[in-house]
Amino acid sequence: MNDLDSLIVKVQNHNSDADFSLIRKAYEFAMIAHAGQKRYSGEPVIIHPLAVANILADYHLGSVSIAAGLLHDVVEDSNVSLSELEREFGREIAGLVEGVTKISQIKLRGSSDEEFVENLRKMLLAMAKDLRVILVKLADRLHNMQTLQYLPLEKQFKNAKETLEVYGPLAERLGMGEIKGQLEDLAFPYVFPQDYQWVINYSKPHYRKAEEFLKKSTRVIYKELAKEGIRAKITSRPKHLYSLWQKLLRPEINRDISRVYDLVAMRILVETVRDCYAALGIIHSHWKPVPNQGISDFIAQPKPNGYRSLHTKVFSLDERILEIQIRTFEMHEEAENGIAAHWFYANEKNKSKVNQSRRDEGFFVPGNKLAWVKQLVSWQKEVVGSQEFMEALKFDALAHRIFVFSPKGDVYDLPQGATPVDFAYAIHSSLGNETQAAIINGKMVALDYKLRSGDLVKIINKEGGRPSEKWLRFVVTQQARRHIARHCSARV
């Protein structure tokens, strides 16, 4: 079976009425666009978009996202233009590819933490119009991290660091625990090589013991659940190395692995929420919960990123402490794949109610979940605590702001209707004053052009240039208005 066929089979397994001809067409298009190009590993470039598409298929995303994954590098890395892509594949797919291309241009690490968080926030907001852009970007980063060993040393470090600082947290906020763990573990050895070695050596025997112990405990629990007629699937999850290291550094753990109870946690998957609580009761009547360590009910009160599960710690065999997580199969899918899972369940459950294109849209969130909006809000609360932002969201003011990029990749947010002149003044008053012309997404435009979210704006200035009074007819920001008026009145 060739690469394309195995991708198609994978998609088929979850979604038999996916648009397979679209996937084929995207694959062939990417194949031609990247023909002759080689990766650092010496392999043909096409293996990369293909790997990205496979990751997206693993998330059970739809054919549009998978096609976008196949095409995500053609604009940046080959001579295909966006308009050509749009002609071939339509606005939706071209828009996704455009979004992914733009994220790569954003300078995520500013000079200060504040700037960084701010850029990150704006990036999210700009992209939140279609979250699939971020899913494609995360899949892209995952495959690049999996093949990081082929890159030059300084790039290895830089990309790995960015992964730990940006993409890991981003995946976490989107509730995508599995990809977060993978990204961090891939980056760990490049950023902290010595600590990585230490954790590996120190934890290895403990992991092995914990797994044996878990096997024994699993048999006991299967039996107890079966007695009460609860059908369950019990799995285990070895803690990701990077997250183990983070935990070991906590003062209360103080590098003592015997205090880490979830080195290998037990996961009990059941059919319904009712079964979750029933299973918890059965376990507690068999093994006593550890006092004060708390039972966490993230079903009644989900974590800000949408995570739902029951957690408990019990004294199990030989009085050993065991951490158990209980959740439904659906919650499990969500905990692993977060936002991506919402599309999956939307597809599965609402087959009759929602048509395919609507389901495949980035906007679509099943039922009244709107999980990612809640996530954005809670994240925002956590990292910036900006009252203003909360108000903005509340009044749907997001619709009245646009986010544009400088050629260096900095993000600027401006009111709707803003023009290149407003943008220039937002960067610096002298740049505003000296504005001569503007280039948007590579094309020269008039100075009263209305900027749109995602535009890449370049200002052409002339040293010693002065603002024109005419600009007052179209600028919308107070900042621009003030500077222009001051100059013009000074001239009179």
Contact residues for Mn ion, defined by CB under 5 A: 73, 140
Q: What angle do CA 412, 171, 323 make, to 5 degrees?
A: 150
> In terms of DSSP bridges, do strands 457-461 and 435-440 run parallel, antiparallel, or are they unpaired?
antiparallel
Q: How far is the CB of 72 from Mn ion (least distance, A)?
A: 6
Comparing CB distances to Mn ion, the nearer of 73 and 184 is: 73
Q: How far is the CB of 337 from Mn ion (least distance, A)?
A: 20
Which structure tokens are listed for 452? Answer: 């749109």
Half-sphere exposure for 361 (CA within 13 Å, toward CB): 12
User: Could you tell me the maximum CA-CA distance found in the chain, to the nearest angstrom?
Assistant: 92
State the Cα–Cα distance between residues 426 and 182, nearest whole angstrom.
Answer: 39
Cα 321–chain centre separation: 34
Buried/exposed 126-155: b ≥16 CB within 10 Å, e otherwise = bbbebbbbbbbbbbbbbbbbebbeebeeee
Q: How far is the CB of 57 from Mn ion (least distance, A)?
A: 16
Q: How far is the CB of 376 from Mn ion (least distance, A)?
A: 25
Output helix, strand, coil percentages for the chain, rounded to the nearest 5: 60, 10, 30
Half-sphere exposure for 144 (CA within 13 Å, toward CB): 19
* Coil, helix or strand at residue 228: coil
Active-site residue, from 5, 28, 43, 76: 76
Comparing CB distances to Mn ion, the nearer of 73 and 360 is: 73
Comparing CB distances to Mn ion, the nearer of 29 and 196 is: 29
Phi, psi dihedrals of residue 394, rounded to the nearest 5°: -60, -45
Comparing CB distances to Mn ion, the nearer of 47 and 383 is: 47
**77 is a catalytic site residue:** yes
Q: How far is the CB of 198 from Mn ion (least distance, A)?
A: 33
For residue 369, give every residue at least 6 positions away whose Cβ sits within 8 Å of its Cβ, in sequence order, or none.
342
Q: How many residues does the chain have?
A: 492
Comparing CB distances to Mn ion, the nearer of 183 and 241 is: 183
State the Cα–Cα distance between residues 278 and 298, nearest whole angstrom.
Answer: 15
Active-site residue, from 3, 58, 77, 336: 77
Phi, psi dihedrals of residue 227, rounded to the nearest 5°: -55, -35
**76 is a catalytic site residue:** yes
Q: How far is the CB of 48 from Mn ion (least distance, A)?
A: 6
Comparing CB distances to Mn ion, the nearer of 104 and 430 is: 104
- Helices 193-227 and 241-248, packing angle to 10 deg: 100
Residue facing Mn ion at closest CB distance: 140
Q: What angle do CA 55, 57, 61 make, to 5 degrees?
A: 115
Q: How far is the CB of 243 from Mn ion (least distance, A)?
A: 26
N-to-C CA span, the chain: 77
Q: How far is the CB of 330 from Mn ion (least distance, A)?
A: 31
* Coil, helix or strand at residue 413: strand
Nearest to 24 by CA among 76, 78, 89, 80: 89
List, by residue number, the catalytic residues. 76-77
